[in-house]
Chain A
Amino acid sequence: MSTAHEGAIVATEAPRAVQATGAVAGYRPERTLRLSVELRRQFKRRRTIGVLALMVALPLILIAALQLGGSEDAQANSRINLVDVATAGGLNFTLFVLFATTSFFLVVVYALFFGDTVAAEAQWGSLRYTLATPVPRARLLRQKWYAALLLSVGALLTLVLTALVAGSTAFGFAPIQTPIGVTLGQADGLLRLAGMVGYLAVHLLVVGTLAFWFSTVTDAPLAAVGGAVFTVFVFAILDQVEQLGSIRDFFPTAYEFAWTDLLQTPVDSGDLFRGVVQSLLYAAVFTALAFRHFARRDVTS
């Protein structure tokens, strides 16, 4: 900090042109925190790269495990289970990966991307500078929401595509064998797989938006992510309580495995439809709560 630099600042005379809104020339609210910028910010984080790397690694680990273990002991299983037919082909392997990750792994990924987004900024203290830029609060949340969605869906797609490619390399690109012996051709199988991924992407929004809401309430990312995951697990446990009867159909976790209906022939879309509508409803409620809370909140972090 020598006096030599001060000359540069002095040379730039103030004041400059301002807009009628009071904003400095060149400032436009709709250009603040563009999605590409937010994604760039996220991709500079090791967490993002780490999750995506995990998405690539998990199918590879599962393939190794399946090839190592053999299948002799896998028969004594009373449930119709996708693990029994996991090695029938790449598509089957992908289904198995989805089945294995639906109730925990993907839940954590969605909760992480959505729950970390605002709370992490609050924790670093960068939230106040972004808001004072100013990025309008609703816009900030919206951009964060989109970025989290893109990252989550991206992670899901990474997982599925890796599983598909690696699985097909290891086990061949065979038609889908369902556990009950029904065979679905490759084209049909890919179409149904796309439907499953689409359903999961929508259904997991429930946990994502819940984490997002928590993220606007707390300044600790761990609390937001953990809170959402914890809530989902509580509902998963309550789901085991038969006495609750049909109340359980209204749980956020209800229909989390409805995508397996796409394996049926003919496809029964009843649960899928209800699952999609219910998920969107929950997601809308949680998102609205997040926006409502954030718009009124005093940012003290």
Chain B
Amino acid sequence: MTRRPRPGARPTPAALIVLLLTGVLLAAAPPAPAAAAADVATEEAMVPSGSGADAVELDTTVYVPASATADAPAPAVVLAHGFGGSKDSVAADARDLAGRGYVVLTYSARGFGRSTGQIGLDDPRFEVADLSTLLDRLAARDDVLLDAPGDPRVGVAGASYGGALALLAAGHDPRVDAIAPQITWNSLTAALFPSQVGAADEPTVAATPQGDGGVYKRLWSGLFFGVGSAPSGGLLDGLGGGDGAAAAPGGAPASLPVDPTSVDPQQAEQLLTCGRFRADVCAAYQAAAASGTLTPEVAAVLDRSSPAAVLDRIHAPTLLVQGTQDSLFGLGQADANARGIAANGTPVEVVWYAGGHDAQASERTTERLRDQVAGWFDRYLRGEGTDPGTGFEFPAPTGLTGGLGTAQSSVQGGTPTVVAPAYPGLAGAAPAERRSIAVDGSVQPVVTPAGGTPAAITVVPGLGSLGSALPGTSVEIPGQFAAFASDPLDAAVEVVGAPTVDLAVASSSGSATLFAKLYDVGPDGQQTLPSGLVAPLSLTGLSADPTAPTRVSVTLPAIVHRFEAGHTMRVVVSSTDQAFALPAQSAVYSVALAGGDGAALSVPEVAARAQDTGGTSRWWVLLGALAALGLLGWGAAVLEGRRRRRRVSAVEPDGEDVPLRFTGVTKAYKDGFVAVRDLSFEVRRGQVLGLLGPNGAGKTTSLRMLMGLIRPTSGRITVFGHEVRPGAPVLSRLGSFVEGTGLQPHLSGRDNLRLYWAATGRPAEDAHLEEALEVAGLGAAIDRPVRRYSQGMRQRVAIAQAMLGLPDLLVLDEPTNGLDPPQIHAMREVLRSYAATGRTVIVSSHLLAEIEQTCSHVVVMAKGQKIAQGTVEEIVGTGGAVSVGLADDADADRAAAVLQGLPGVTVERTDEGLVAELDGTPRARALQALVAAGIEVDAFTPRRRLEDAFLALVGEG
């Protein structure tokens, strides 16, 4: 749009172009939306799997897109759900994938949902075997693409529990062609008994020691187990279902109430404590929870469920998605999986996103991940799309901590994603770059309280960092930690991966349980713990002598975080953390930096470029598009203006003599009401035309049409020979006062007139403001605000406004309403003398007397139609007849004789008395004759022939 004047230009086309172009821009900006999930059919089935005592029935749903048929079989995708979920948890993802043309199979894993059986924690003998059974079923479908008989083209995706299942299935069943595991584990042992002791020997960014025998992750384990141990379907169902064989197909509950005598007490106890877990899994949990240590039995159960053992057998291209807000399965787990799978030469792409077990991803991120998983399958199941490569994506590092109530709620849309060409250190890619940050601090004693309380609070499972929930609060217990800080950073440092630091620790008992973390400390001292992550350290074989401590390499939690310039990095080593199992004995450790002062914190960095934001160029594109549109609109306006100026409408040749002409004008409204019907009349120069009619006769509508405010339905109105349209230039010769004064109440009368004239844009000297003010005749009141005026004063200002610029055609609607008799009289004089200058005046009124005294010509209207037209004399009839009222009716004959004696006069007798047609004889002479004859005349009034007709017409309605 331009600010340049565009005379009468129509802006709509320009606006439409803006619309179209911006629409294109907008469409190009966001990623293409997922295909509509139309025409997806679902098939539900209970599928038997396993044999003997472990036989179960799996509750499955197959989503079949309309595009998958026997003639055009489609590749399949199996979606596995997370722990505690069921096939319904992944229904939305399934529909999305099916909408993209995949046959999607979802199912509830054994022990979940309506599937029967017990939870084996992704046991290769059970859960993984179940998946193979389902692959058999897919292979038997004619709408699923086969690589070989019995070998469907299939991908497996899932999050957490389902993600590990995808990895294990790819390791155990060679028929799996591509997998997309999300937020899952590499080693359940390392995830639940972590100890991040040891430096990152691996070249990858988030390499985290997967050592066993670490510190028991108490809170998370309890939560994890608690979900599975709640007897599904109610306790009584569980007891009933446990009575002998598996639950009835379809999960129908056994008959209730349960006979107490038929319940085996031992079985009941197992059900109550273990729920739907297998006995061996349950026993392992109970042993771990009770002792807080990793026994070989527990390790055997957890290792069996860990993909770590089968990574070397995975040849299906793998998309590893891991969350940065995850205190359960950290980035290190995905790092280990990536290394293991890439070592086989299998393509691996690693994606980190803002979310995880601690914080739900934003909707946009979820949508994006869906697209990425679908893209991975498109590539490796269908061979479509570009090679996703083996790149590495992660959320752009920010100073935000993430977790509960993160900035994502107030800073909309979350953080942008950045992309690196490769995951550092993976499959021949250059190893992670590390930067050294000097930290220092003295040797500090660290106390472990007996019983492990009070404990530092850093992580709340599922909620993430408490530090971010309560900004500025850091629940570290004084005396229980050692802190080592860097100098304020000169420039911002973006840490992507797991930093390392070397500590020197001594413990009188030779062992220690410690928790290392890296705080971001602002210039004001406020410290935040990125993602709320903690590195537990389980140390043994330590020196007991604080003067000769043992050197310990520590890998801090893998994070994506930007330490702003001016902030400091603070390594804190504490003795307690309430999320973990803590030693019951009190102890004192001494903790120092291994290198003394100037020891280095080694932080990984990844060179990556922002994705999706497109930099500043698109802003220039937008600006350019707007400028181009503006120019285009301006150009169009100029051309249009020229065209209009050239197109002078056909002017009627007698225009100057006929200031106003109505030709067959009709105005009908949409509701069928006809306000004006076929109205034709003309007004000649110098006339004062009265538009006479009762209320609702169509007078005001006619005036509005002549002002260009209302479009006639048909017919033509011309002013000075030019046709009237809205905004027709000829209207500048018109002055009007129609229905309401239109004055701005907060302004004085004078300001109203001035501003009105200013809006016309015409030269100030053309206004004749002083003459107009004299017409108004308000005196000093003209400078008072209009809202304090009386009705008559407003009326006069409005008439003065209409007369500004001395228009050639003056239109006044009921001008004398609200005026007192002297003012009415003065107004008549003004109008008559105005017309005498050769200008034309149109006055509307519903009062016959008003018209009679003001106008020279009259048009009579009723019900939208013209009834009569002519000079006032013609219409009102003052030139013709008089009615004579006599004091004494007996004089009637004599009076008639006297009048008839005058030349040309004829007399008629009516009920109301004598009516004399004077025919040119002056009234005065007739009266004189009567008086001279000695007749007492009571009334002698001009006879108005039309008035009767008019009233009769008006009275009809």
Q: Which residues of B contact A (CB under 8 A)?
A: 3, 5-12, 15-16, 18-19, 22-23, 25-26, 29-30, 363-364, 367, 396, 398-401, 404-407, 409-413, 415-416, 469-472, 492, 520, 522-524, 526, 528, 562, 564-567, 610, 612-614, 616, 618-619, 622, 626, 641, 645, 648, 651, 655-656, 704, 707-711, 719-722, 726-734, 736, 738-747, 751, 755-756, 758-763, 766, 768, 770-771, 774-775, 777, 796, 801, 805-808, 823, 826-827, 829-830, 833-834, 836-839
In the complex, identify which listed stretch (A90-98, A121-129, A155-163, A224-232) lies at the interface while the others stay far away.
Answer: A121-129
Q: Which residues of B contact A295 (CB under 8 A)?
A: 10, 12, 726
What band does the interface of chain A fall in when counting residues whose beta carbon is under 8 Å from B?
35 or more
Q: Which residues of A contact B11 (CB under 8 A)?
A: 138, 141-142, 287-288, 291
A172 in the interface (beta carbon within 8 A): no
24 contacts between A and B (CB under 8 A): A1-B777, A5-B777, A8-B774, A12-B837, A23-B732, A27-B729, A29-B7, A29-B8, A44-B747, A80-B407, A128-B738, A131-B727, A133-B731, A133-B759, A134-B708, A135-B727, A181-B524, A181-B567, A183-B522, A257-B410, A277-B25, A277-B29, A280-B18, A298-B710
Q: Which residues of A contact B407 (CB under 8 A)?
A: 80, 179-180
Interchain nearest-CB distance for B944 vs A (Å): 29
Interchain nearest-CB distance for B616 vs A (Å): 8
In Å, the complex CA distance between A84 and B401 comes to: 17
In Å, the complex CA distance between A280 and B524 comes to: 40
**Contacts A22-B719, A265-B492 given; 6 further ones with Cβ under 8 A?**
A2-B777, A45-B744, A133-B760, A180-B471, A273-B29, A298-B711
A220 in the interface (beta carbon within 8 A): no
- Whether the pair B739, A125 counts as a contact (CB closer than 8 A) is yes
Select the residue from A22, A178, A271, A285 with max chain B CB neighbours within 10 A.
A22
- Whether the pair B730, A23 counts as a contact (CB closer than 8 A) is yes
In Å, the complex CA distance between A124 and B520 comes to: 62
Interchain nearest-CB distance for B735 vs A (Å): 9
Tell me whether chain B's interface is mostly helix, strand or loop, or mixed.
loop
- Whether the pair B709, A299 counts as a contact (CB closer than 8 A) is yes
In Å, the complex CA distance between A142 and B3 comes to: 9
Interchain nearest-CB distance for A85 vs B (Å): 9
Of the candidates B566, B741, B839, which one forms a contact with A183 in the assembled complex, judged by CB atoms under 8 Å apart? B566
Give B28's nearest chain A residue, CB to CB: A277
Interchain nearest-CB distance for A120 vs B (Å): 9
Of the candidates B364, B367, B729, B806, which one forms a contact with A21 in the assembled complex, judged by CB atoms under 8 Å apart? B729
In the complex, identify which listed stretch (A31-39, A60-68, A111-119) lies at the interface while the others stay far away.
Answer: A31-39
Of the candidates B22, B404, B709, which one forms a contact with A131 in the assembled complex, judged by CB atoms under 8 Å apart? B709
Q: Which residues of B contact A30 (CB under 8 A)?
A: 5-7, 641, 761
Of the candidates B410, B756, B763, which one forms a contact with A129 in the assembled complex, judged by CB atoms under 8 Å apart? B756
Q: Which residues of A contact B410 (CB under 8 A)?
A: 79-81, 257, 260
- Whether the pair A136, B8 counts as a contact (CB closer than 8 A) is yes
Q: Which residues of A contact B775 (CB under 8 A)?
A: 1, 5, 9
- Whether the pair B837, A45 counts as a contact (CB closer than 8 A) is no
In Å, the complex CA distance between A129 and B610 comes to: 57
Which residues from 27 to 57 on chain A have a C-beta closer than 8 Å to any C-beta of chain B? 27-35, 37-38, 40-41, 44-46
In Å, the complex CA distance between A278 and B838 comes to: 58
- Whether the pair A21, B645 counts as a contact (CB closer than 8 A) is yes
Q: Which residues of A contact B622 (CB under 8 A)?
A: 273, 276-277
- Whether the pair B19, A285 counts as a contact (CB closer than 8 A) is yes
Of the candidates B396, B645, B727, which one forms a contact with A266 in the assembled complex, judged by CB atoms under 8 Å apart? B396
In Å, the complex CA distance between A1 and B829 comes to: 9
Q: Given the known A-B contacts A37-B759, A129-B801, A246-B363, are A9 and B833 also in contact in the complex, defined by CB atoms under 8 Å?
A: yes
Task: State the 10 A-B residue pairs at the shortest beta-carbon distance, nearest first.
Answer: A181-B522, A31-B761, A22-B730, A1-B826, A23-B729, A22-B722, A288-B15, A136-B727, A30-B5, A5-B774
In Å, the complex CA distance between A136 and B777 comes to: 32
Q: Which residues of B contact A264 (CB under 8 A)?
A: 398, 411, 415
Interchain nearest-CB distance for A190 vs B (Å): 19
In Å, the complex CA distance between A84 and B522 comes to: 15
A18 in the interface (beta carbon within 8 A): yes
Give A23's nearest chain B residue, CB to CB: B729
In Å, the complex CA distance between A292 and B15 comes to: 10
Q: Which residues of A contact B743 (CB under 8 A)?
A: 124, 126
Q: Which residues of B contact A134 (CB under 8 A)?
A: 708, 726-729, 731-732
Q: Which residues of B contact A38 (CB under 8 A)?
A: 759
A191 in the interface (beta carbon within 8 A): no
Q: Which residues of A contact B726 (CB under 8 A)?
A: 131, 134, 136-137, 295
Of the candidates A44, A266, A278, A291, which one forms a contact with B755 in the assembled complex, judged by CB atoms under 8 Å apart? A44
In Å, the complex CA distance between A79 and B23 comes to: 35
Q: Which residues of B contact A277 (CB under 8 A)?
A: 22, 25-26, 29, 622
Of the candidates B396, B404, B742, which one forms a contact with A124 in the assembled complex, judged by CB atoms under 8 Å apart? B742
Q: Which residues of A contact B404 (CB under 8 A)?
A: 78
- Whether the pair A180, B709 counts as a contact (CB closer than 8 A) is no
Q: Given the known A-B contacts A14-B806, A126-B743, A281-B22, are A299 and B710 also in contact in the complex, defined by CB atoms under 8 Å?
A: yes
- Whether the pair A137, B755 counts as a contact (CB closer than 8 A) is no
Q: Given the known A-B contacts A131-B726, A134-B727, A136-B7, are A10 and B837 also in contact in the complex, defined by CB atoms under 8 Å?
A: yes
In Å, the complex CA distance between A280 and B22 comes to: 8
In Å, the complex CA distance between A84 and B526 comes to: 13
Q: Which residues of A contact B704 (CB under 8 A)?
A: 128, 299-300
- Whether the pair A26, B826 counts as a contact (CB closer than 8 A) is no
Of the candidates B15, B401, B411, B770, which one forms a contact with A287 in the assembled complex, judged by CB atoms under 8 Å apart? B15
In Å, the complex CA distance between A13 and B837 comes to: 6
In Å, the complex CA distance between A299 and B738 comes to: 12
Which residues from 101 to 119 on chain A have a C-beta closer than 8 Å to any C-beta of chain B? none
Q: Given the known A-B contacts A139-B6, A181-B564, are A274 and B30 also in contact in the complex, defined by CB atoms under 8 Å?
A: yes
- Whether the pair A27, B709 counts as a contact (CB closer than 8 A) is no
Of the candidates A80, A246, A260, A261, which one forms a contact with B367 in the assembled complex, judged by CB atoms under 8 Å apart? A246
Q: Which residues of B contact A271 (CB under 8 A)?
A: 412-413
In Å, the complex CA distance between A233 and B648 comes to: 49
Q: Given the known A-B contacts A137-B726, A270-B416, are A40 and B758 also in contact in the complex, defined by CB atoms under 8 Å?
A: yes
Q: Which residues of B contact A22 (CB under 8 A)?
A: 651, 655, 719-722, 728-730, 733
A255 in the interface (beta carbon within 8 A): yes
